[in-house]
Amino acid sequence: MSTLSKRATVYLDPILYKALKIKSAETSKSMSKLIDEAIRISLAEDAEDLAAFEKRANEPLISFEDVLKELKKDGRI
């Protein structure tokens, strides 16, 4: 972690805390480092999702009812 890191208090489920503590010991990474990595991965996934939504923004909208009608017409349901 950089020297510009900010301190935060987080409250974890006791089982998650125990798992994090064990993983920290087994990987020789601090709990803070593991949490930082997990947050980075989660935010990267969010960014990918947003990019996918943006990419498909101009596609025509199809209602759920229309999808059901199409499935019935094709004999799939």
Residue 36 lies in a domain: yes
Alpha helices in 1-77 (DSSP H): 14-27, 31-55, 64-73
Residue 9 lies in a domain: no
Residue 4 lies in a domain: no
Residue 24 lies in a domain: yes
Owning domain of residue 48: 14-73
Residue 7 lies in a domain: no
Whole-model pTM? Answer: 0.69
The CA distance from 68 to 3, in Å, is 55
Residue 37 lies in a domain: yes
| Count: domains in the chain | 1
Residue 20 lies in a domain: yes
Closest CA relative to residue 24, chosen from 14, 16, 38, 34: 34
| pLDDT tens digits in sequence order for the chain, 77 residues long | 557 889 999 999 999 999 999 999 999 999 999 999 999 999 999 999 999 999 999 999 999 999 999 999 999 99
